[in-house]
Structure 1
Amino acid sequence: MIHSSPSAADAAVAVAAAQAGAEAVRELYGRPLDRIDKGAGDFATAADVEAERRILDVLRSARPDDAVLGEESGKQGPIGADRQWLVDPLCGTLNYAVGSTLVAVNVALRDGAAAVADPFSGEVFHTDGRAALVRRDGADAPLAPTASSQLVDVNLDPPFPNAPGFRAVELLGHPDFVQRFRPRVVSSTLAVAWVAAGRRAAYVTDGGDLSASVHFAAGIALCRAAGCVVTGIDGEPLGEAGRGLLAAADTQTHALLLSMIRSQGS
């Protein structure tokens, strides 16, 4: 695993890179964009490609000795680099392609600083690995997770690698879930940042090891720095043997959701 020391300087780079990508996403919004087929129903657009290009420009300029893993361009940078940046230039491409603004730009230094930019609100959620903050109009404020909204975002997109032991749609129908929470489906990892910001009580997704995912690494870093409870859907730490993601605002919410998930396999 690649490790790095959290720093304010790295956080500043993450923020600048995410803002550069967000600017491209805003500029190209609403224009007719060709779809680049990636198979299995997935696709990218010219906005994904341009946003990633601008992000890479920032990272190469500020951190030329670091490696980068971009969703669209793959691995970049020096072979054997000690540090690696994970880049998702436009999370929520389908939303974006049909005119929805529920998207995010994710930039994370593996095991270090991270930033999630909301191109349309102008907010940038960021962390140096210790503090979790949101930048609005040039000013930073601390993130404060809370479960008071009772809103839980659940990713319903395939594949479902942990079925039949876990099915997200069954979680939504669990009697305790219906009584305690209200479901939301944003279809963008912006929702993971919202857990750290107190706008969601929790986020749940199926999957394998998401700790080094270009989609999830930045949101996971934010949640951890904000003091959220972050595990796999099995309650185990994230890592190579990980199973999905359960990020909750507090221990009680995490325990409640984990109990509902575990009941599916009983």
Structure 2
Amino acid sequence: MSITDHALAIEAAEAGAAVVRSRYGSTMTRVMKTAGDFATAADVEAEQAILDVLGRARPDDAVVAEESGRTGTGDNGRTWLVDPLCGTLNFAARTTLASVNVALRTGSEVTVAASADPFADEVFWTDGTTAYVRGAGTDERLVPSAESTLVDVNLDPPFPNRDVFLAARLLADEGFTEQFRPRVVSTSLAVAWVAAGRRAAYVTDRHDLRNSVHFAAGIALCQVAGCVVTGLDGQPLHAGGDGLVAAADERTHAALLTLIRKQGS
């Protein structure tokens, strides 16, 4: 019997996570990509492990991967989005905050996704209908919650919308600190945490996140789990707006949008 897409996404993410764990703490050369952005051997080896899993099971599918780019034609309308190590700087600094992201885009929609935490040995996954976290062989359904009031904010440059929104200004807004407590994880693992109820929300101003190897999996998890997910302007992500506001509920989402809009007024 052939493996299902969601089981394949989980297997691929776990394969990448195993490499990341095995490489943790070792000395690795940094390969610079752009100013302040680099890859390590862990990124490259984890990506190859993921590609091997996908290639064996779905040789006709296209893949877009963080380190090796696009392979395959995607003539069948199926493209896997692969981020082998989201949080490379954390990892290189021996900080155990990172994720391994695998998502399948069929046509214009992400239909399955998995985001693995290599160090907690957890995989957040969705088959497009329901969303779960797998730990110790057990699947637990993801239930968003804003109870913690923790909001993870992406403070990594670039800041493409700085004229109308800057994350640092959000943190300095008394209206923000009256309602929320900021956190900066610096990995898209925090997006999966919104779906799991471990964060009240996540905010970033990056471009075109639906098709991002970094964010596609987390966004899919949040949408299936029932979070409120929009761009910074409050419009659906498919409307083409920049950024991401993923919130556990409508109240949290509305409060964050009010604070964001203050910056552009």
Q: Decide whether the 8 Å contact of 2:232 with 2:257 is kept in 1.
A: yes
2:145 is equivalent to residue 146 of structure 1: yes
Q: What is the SS of the residue equivalent to 2:132?
A: strand
Q: Distance in 2 between matches of 1:47 and 1:56?
A: 14
In the TM superposition, 1:100-179 aligns within 5 A as 100-110=95-105, 111-179=110-178
Q: Distance in 2 between matches of 1:169 and 1:197?
A: 25
Corresponding residue for 1:30? 25
AA in 1 matched with 2:145: T
Corresponding residue for 1:4? none
2:69 is equivalent to residue 74 of structure 1: yes
In the TM superposition, 1:227-246 aligns within 5 A as 227-239=226-238, 241-246=240-245
Structure 1 residue 168: Cα displacement: 0.5
Q: Distance in 1 between matches of 2:231 and 2:35?
A: 25
CA offsets per residue over residues 204-231 of structure 1, 9 Å max, x none? Answer: 0012211010000000000001000000
Give the aligned CA root-mean-square deviation in angstroms.
1.0
Q: Distance in 2 between matches of 1:116 and 1:189?
A: 9
Corresponding residue for 2:87? 92
Q: Distance in 1 between matches of 2:239 and 2:176?
A: 29
Structure 1 residue 85: Cα displacement: 0.4
Structure 1 residue 79: Cα displacement: 4.9
Q: Distance in 1 between matches of 2:23 and 2:45?
A: 9
Corresponding residue for 2:56? 61
Count of residues in correspondence between the two structures:
259
CA offsets per residue over residues 90-140 of structure 1, 9 Å max, x none? Answer: 000000001001000000001210000000100000000110100011110
Q: Decide whether the 8 Å contact of 1:210 with 1:242 is kept in 2.
A: no
AA in 2 matched with 1:170: R
Q: What is the SS of the residue equivalent to 2:111?
A: coil
Q: Decide whether the 8 Å contact of 1:209 with 1:239 is kept in 2.
A: no
Corresponding residue for 1:43? 38
Task: Identify unmatched segments of 5+ residues in structure 2.
Answer: none
Corresponding residue for 2:201? 202
After TM superposition, the score normalised by the length of structure 1 is 0.96
CA offsets per residue over residues 179-204 of structure 1, 9 Å max, x none? Answer: 00000000000000000000000000
Q: Decide whether the 8 Å contact of 2:60 with 2:74 is kept in 1.
A: no
Moved more, 32-41 or 73-82: 73-82
After TM superposition, the score normalised by the length of structure 2 is 0.96
Q: Decide whether the 8 Å contact of 2:61 with 2:74 is kept in 1.
A: no
2:15 is equivalent to residue 20 of structure 1: yes
Structure 1 residue 63: Cα displacement: 1.0
Structure 1 residue 40: Cα displacement: 1.8
Q: Distance in 1 between matches of 2:72 and 2:48?
A: 14
Structure-2 change in CA distance of 1:236 and 1:60 (3 Å): same
Structure-2 change in CA distance of 1:203 and 1:79 (3 Å): closer
Same amino acid, percent of matched pairs? 65
Q: Decide whether the 8 Å contact of 2:19 with 2:42 is kept in 1.
A: yes
In the TM superposition, 1:188-199 aligns within 5 A as 188-199=187-198
Q: Which 4+ stretches in 1 moved above 6 angstroms?
A: none
CA offsets per residue over residues 160-192 of structure 1, 9 Å max, x none? Answer: 111110010111111211100000000000000
